[in-house]
Amino acid sequence: MVITSVDVIQSIIDGILYGSIYALIGVGFTLIFGAMQKLNMAYAASSIAGAYCGLGISAVLSLNLLVTFFLGPLVGGLIGILVYLVCFRFIPSREHLGSLMASIGALFLIDEIIVHETDGSPLNFPELGIFSEAYFLVGEFGFRGDLIFVLIVSLLAMTSIILMLYRTKYGLAARAVSQQMNAAILCGINPHKVNASTFFLAGVLGGLAGCLAAAAVGVISPLLILPLTIKGLIATVIGGLGSIKGAIIAGLLLGGFESLFLLVRGVNERDIYVFLLLFLFLVFKPNGMFGSIIDRD
- CA 19, 25, 31, 37 torsion-angle sign: negative
List, in sequence order, every residue forming a beta bridge with 138; answer none if it has no partner. Answer: 141
Instruction: Examine residue 231 and tell whether it contacts other proteins (CB under 8 A).
Output: no
CB neighbour class for 125 (10 Å; exposed up to 12, middle 13-18, buried from 19): buried
**Looking at 1, 60, 97, 186, which residue binds other proteins (CB under 8 A)?**
1
* Inter-helix orientation angle 191-217/43-60, to 10°: 70
Binding mask 73-112 for other proteins (x = CB under 8 A): ----------------------------------------
Least Å distance between CB 142 and other proteins?
Answer: 6
**Looking at 59, 183, 187, 223, which residue binds other proteins (CB under 8 A)?**
223
Least Å distance between CB 75 and other proteins?
Answer: 21
Least Å distance between CB 21 and other proteins?
Answer: 9
**Looking at 41, 213, 234, 274, which residue binds other proteins (CB under 8 A)?**
213
17 versus 184: smaller Cβ distance to other proteins: 17
Binding mask 121-150 for other proteins (x = CB under 8 A): xx-x--------x-x------x-x------
Instruction: Examine residue 65 and tell whether it contacts other proteins (CB under 8 A).
Output: no
What CA–CA distance (Å, rounded) separates 96 from 104? Answer: 12
Torsion of CA 91, 96, 102, 106, to 10 degrees: 110
What CA–CA distance (Å, rounded) separates 90 from 183? Answer: 20
Least Å distance between CB 244 and other proteins?
Answer: 24
Instruction: Examine residue 182 and tell whether it contacts other proteins (CB under 8 A).
Output: no
**Looking at 56, 98, 218, 286, which residue binds other proteins (CB under 8 A)?**
218
Least Å distance between CB 265 and other proteins?
Answer: 11
Binding mask 251-290 for other proteins (x = CB under 8 A): --------x--xx--xxx----------------------
**Looking at 227, 245, 285, 286, which residue binds other proteins (CB under 8 A)?**
227
* Inter-helix orientation angle 5-36/191-217, to 10°: 160
Residues 18-37 contacting other proteins, CB under 8 A: 18
Least Å distance between CB 153 and other proteins?
Answer: 17
**Looking at 57, 113, 115, 176, which residue binds other proteins (CB under 8 A)?**
115
What CA–CA distance (Å, rounded) separates 52 from 49? Answer: 5
- Interface residue list for other proteins (CB under 8 A): 1, 7, 10-11, 14-15, 18, 115, 119-122, 124, 133, 135, 142, 144, 213, 216-219, 221, 223-224, 226-227, 259, 262-263, 266-268
